[in-house]
């Protein structure tokens, strides 16, 4: 009997993460299904259910999300919590109603407590208060991974469900968002230094003290991790997670200060002026390094260094006419 290839739906394929996953799946010759926002509103429950049922989908990568930096999270908390909750609820529940057994939910390291022990282990989740500047987004992401856990707990045996989650550190790379107000730290700095260079400015102002530390991962490495975890044998995944802690951290394992990051980007963009840190602007969490021993023990490791990734991200920025 002829067995068709799996149909894989990448939700959020136009975003940075979704694009990276889409490209990887295509390289591996999978049947990939996508839907533009104009054709499918992921916050519309009926539309999502109809789409999934009509497309014979076997697996879903949930990369769709409303994302942004500190400013955007503070400015639009209602949109961040509502849209992200609706997207993940509609996708996960519609997948369940349609008989889809395999999902990978992609979260964010902001799910962990603001003052979490470092490096952050998976089971530190819900052990303390969240960072206030992105609490609505973090709560939505926690709800997504807990939905996957809950559906597994109730239906893993009777329905053979296998819903998985990964929590990446700060991501960057091709297709990043360079909006002046809604971008994350790396694209914001790349754009600032580049524009300062071509405008021949004497200084670049960076938000915060520059002392906080962050961990960064090239989005292509995240795509590899997503594919790796999605295709890990079920017995192995179950053995290395638990019913109440079913997610796996993904990160580079290396951290640096925002000051050091700014200096790297200054060098890459060849800006010759000074860097001024605006201490009146919020820093966010002081440190956020993920413990990635679990995924590394399973066989995955990042391949792209921060310096290499930043150089390629800058080239991608300059090749994108819509970025500036």
262 CB contacts (<8 Å, ≥6 apart)? 189, 204, 206, 210, 275
**What is the token pair recorded at 315?**
């080239």
**What is the token pair recorded at 314?**
């800058």
Please indicate whether residue 137 is annotated as part of the active site: yes
Burial class (CB in 10 A: 0-12, 13-18, 19+), 218: buried
Count of other CB atoms within 10 angstroms of residue 321 = 6
- Does residue 157 contact residue 248 with C-beta atoms inside 8 Å? no
CA angle 149/164/5 to nearest 5° reads 135
Quote the CA–CA distance of 212 and 18 in Å, as a whole number.
28
Among candidate residues 220, 226, 234, 300, the one with its CA nearest the CA of residue 63: 226
Q: Which of 71, 137, 227, 314 is catalytic?
A: 137
Burial class (CB in 10 A: 0-12, 13-18, 19+), 295: buried
Among candidate residues 253, 251, 270, 250, the one with its CA nearest the CA of residue 310: 270
Among candidate residues 209, 230, 213, the one with its CA nearest the CA of residue 290: 213
15 CB contacts (<8 Å, ≥6 apart)? 63, 64, 65, 67, 175
**What is the token pair recorded at 61?**
């990568």
**What is the token pair recorded at 109?**
């390291």
**What is the token pair recorded at 142?**
């926690």
**Annotated catalytic sites, by residue?**
137
């Amino acid at each position: 009997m002829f067995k068709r290839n799996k149909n894989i739906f990448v939700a959020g394929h136009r975003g940075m993460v979704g694009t990276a996953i889409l490209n990887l799946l295509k390289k591996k010759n999978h049947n990939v299904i996508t839907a533009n926002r104009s054709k499918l509103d992921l916050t519309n429950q009926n539309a999502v259910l109809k789409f999934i049922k009509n497309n014979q989908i076997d697996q879903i990568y949930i990369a769709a999300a409303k994302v942004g930096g500190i400013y955007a999270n503070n400015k639009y908390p209602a949109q961040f919590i509502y849209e992200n909750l609706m997207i993940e609820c509609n996708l996960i529940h519609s997948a369940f109603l349609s008989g889809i057994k395999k999902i990978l939910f992609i979260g964010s390291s902001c799910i962990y407590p603001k003052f979490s022990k470092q490096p952050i282990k998976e089971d530190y989740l819900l052990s303390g208060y969240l960072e206030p500047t992105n609490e609505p987004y973090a709560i939505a992401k926690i709800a997504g991974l807990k939905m996957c856990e809950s559906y597994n707990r109730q239906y893993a045996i009777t329905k053979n469900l296998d819903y998985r989650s990964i929590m990446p550190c700060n991501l960057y790379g091709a297709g990043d968002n360079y909006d002046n107000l809604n971008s994350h730290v790396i694209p914001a700095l790349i754009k600032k230094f580049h524009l300062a260079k071509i405008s021949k400015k004497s200084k670049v102002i960076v938000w915060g003290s520059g002392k906080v530390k962050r961990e960064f991962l090239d989005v292509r490495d995240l795509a590899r991790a997503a594919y790796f975890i999605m295709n890990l044998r079920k017995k192995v995944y179950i053995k290395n997670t638990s019913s109440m802690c079913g997610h796996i951290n993904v990160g580079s394992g290396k951290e640096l200060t925002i000051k050091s990051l700014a200096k790297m980007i200054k060098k890459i963009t060849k800006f010759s002026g000074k860097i001024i840190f605006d201490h009146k602007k919020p820093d966010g969490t002081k440190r956020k390094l993920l413990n990635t021993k679990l995924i590394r023990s399973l066989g995955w490791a990042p391949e792209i260094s921060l310096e290499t990734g930043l150089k390629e991200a800058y080239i991608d920025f300059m090749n994108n006419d819509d970025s500036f």
